[in-house]
Amino acid sequence: MIEAIKLGKKFKDVEAVKDASFTVKKGEIVGLLGENGAGKTTTLRMLATMLRPTSGTALINGHSIIENPREVRREIGILFGGEVGLYDRLTARENIEYFAKLNSMNDHDMKASIEELVFKFNMEEYIDRKVGKFSRGMKQKVAISRSIVHRPSIMLYDEPTAGLDVTATKIVNDFILECRQQNKAIIFSSHSMQEVEKLCDRIIIIHKGSIIDSGTIEYFKEKYQSDNMEDLFIRLVGDK
Amino acid sequence: MNIISIVYKKELIDIFRDKKTLVAAILIPFLIYPLIFGFMGKGIKDTTDFIEEEGGVKIALIDDDNSEIGNILKSRSNIDIKDSDNIADDVKSGKILLGIEIPQGFQEKIANEEETNITITYDNTSQKSSMALSFIKELLDEYSKGIVAHRLEARDMDATILTPIDTITKSPDRDDTGVGKLMLSLILPMMLVIFAASGPIASAVDLCA
């Protein structure tokens, strides 16, 4: 479970995130919806212990991101979109192993987990090839595998389908839905309304660092009397 | 395995699989540096060799007294005495390496055990001129020591009391390769330090990040 309590981050004079409070339960996908620069990535980075909050805190399965960052990191899997940050000169297996080892997995569990992932994502053909020449889709599969090799119970997705073609996007989206079936707590950041509508159980709309509203898709449609999430979003952030 | 060793191992694999890094950081330096230092050594040797050559040290000599030291200089096969109307200009232009002026009454003063001097004009921007100066100074020192020894003998004193230690220098290496090797021995430790430091920079950045 993720519990953000008045989470805030200031970069000099700029307040990137202000008093963000929300919860994400097990088996739930919560969409973090906002324009570029709204504070989505900063929020996720704080939850992932990559950034230290300037105010507030968050609990990841009961572990504080400030006091127990190491424990928190073991609980979470992170997947970013765009450049996925794999090491081109390492093979797919070496990339996945590297992150498994960083998460203190023992050799036996790591090998078993990697074999499962290779089978699951049909990576048999290229698991021992260097990542540098992979297609975006292949890289994304490796990135997904890397993010879950240590079997985290919480997943943070930051625009994971950015720049991907239809097939690769489907792989990622199917995987996110599968994570929900596995009872993981999931935060999914995006600026694509269709994706959010399709995947998320609840939505948090963030604008200029502040949460302006949150609830289910039905809640938004009813409250703002609109069936079109895109129009609704523009109306919401436009008003602010 | 702790995190540092995991990251370090990954970085090493990453670096050693990068052909550009291998060529730029290891292969090229190992091929290029010996060549550079070889050339440097040869260049330095060339600037010192002229002293040994017949007529290699071109000087202008003003010696109206026809002094003993003047005759010694004239008798050296590696010294070529040139005429000069303006010593300073000729030294500057490189026509001669040194101008040596022995004043009138020099020999007489030596004989009377009085203090005297010799003026040497050289170009401090020219390596050859500086080398020639060292060579001539050595000759003058030798001559000066000879005079002192002669004076001590005249007083029934042994000249060796002035030089209680005679230094004998030997080198196992050939003279022509010695300079290059000396340069290499000076630079190689520095290069090893640079190599050792530059390798883990990527890892260090990764670790700090």
Average pLDDT over residues B132-150: 90
Interacting residues of A102 by C-beta distance below 8 A, sequence separation 6+: B3, B6, B7
| Chain A nearest CA to B30, separation (Å) | 24
pLDDT band at A83; cut points 50, 70, 90: low
B10 and A89 in contact by Cβ < 8 A?
Answer: no
Q: Where in the sequence is the domain holding A201, given as residue range(s)?
A: 2-239
- Interface mutation vs chain A, best among B5, B10, B14, most A CBs within 10 Å: B10
* Chain A partners within 8 Å of B3 (Cβ): 102
The amino acid occupying position A206 is: I
pLDDT on residue B175: 63
* Between residues B129 and B48, the one the model is more confident about: B129
Write out chain A residues lying below 8 Å of B6, CB-based. Answer: 98, 101-102
What was the pLDDT predicted at B29? 77
Determine phi and psi for A208, rounding to 5 degrees. Answer: 50, 40
A140 neighbors A123 (Cβ within 8 angstroms): no
Residue A59 pLDDT greater than 90, yes or no:
yes
Q: What confidence score (pLDDT) does residue B17 get?
A: 86
The HSE-up count of residue A231 (CA atoms within 13 Å, CB side) is 6
What's the pLDDT score for residue A239?
A: 57
Nearest to A102 among B3, B17, B18 (CB): B3
Q: Which residues of B136-161 are buried (b: 16+ CB within 10 A; e: fewer)?
A: beebbeebeeeeebeeeeeeeeeeee
Question: Rounded to 5 degrees, what are φ and ψ at B94?
Answer: 90, 5
Q: Which two tokens stand for residue A4?
A: 């953000």
User: For residue B207, which of B14, B6, B16, B15 has the smallest C-alpha distance?
Assistant: B6
Q: Domain total for chain A?
A: 1
Mean pLDDT over residues B18-22, rounded? 81
Q: Domains in chain B and their CATH numbers?
A: 3-48+183-208 (no CATH), 57-162 (3.40.1710.10)
Residues of B in contact with A94 (CB under 8 A): 10, 13
A87 touches chain B (CB under 8 A): yes
Determine phi and psi for A116, rounding to 5 degrees: -60, -45
- Whether residue B203 has pLDDT greater than 70: no
Q: Which residue has the higher pLDDT, B3 or A53?
A: A53
B17 in contact with A, Cβ within 8 Å: yes
Using a cut of 0.90, tell me whether the model's pTM lies above it: no
Q: How many whole angstroms separate alpha carbon B199 and alpha carbon A142?
A: 28
> How far is Cα A150 from Cα A112, in angstroms, rounded to an integer?
11
Residue B46 contacts A where some CB pair is shorter than 8 Å: no
A89, A98, A101 member nearest B17 (Cβ): A89
In chain B, residues with a C-beta closer than 8 Å to the C-beta of A146 are: none
- For residue A101, the model assigns a pLDDT of 92
Position B207 confidence tier, pLDDT thresholds 50, 70, 90: low
A158 forms beta bridges with A80, A189
A155 close to A166: Cβ distance less than 8 angstroms: no
Q: How far apart are CA B184 and CA B32, in angstroms?
A: 12
Instruction: Please report, for the domain that includes residue A70, its CATH number.
Output: 3.40.50.300
> Residue A90's closest chain B neighbor by CA?
B14
Average confidence (pLDDT) over A198-203? 91
CB within 8 Å: B6 and A87: no
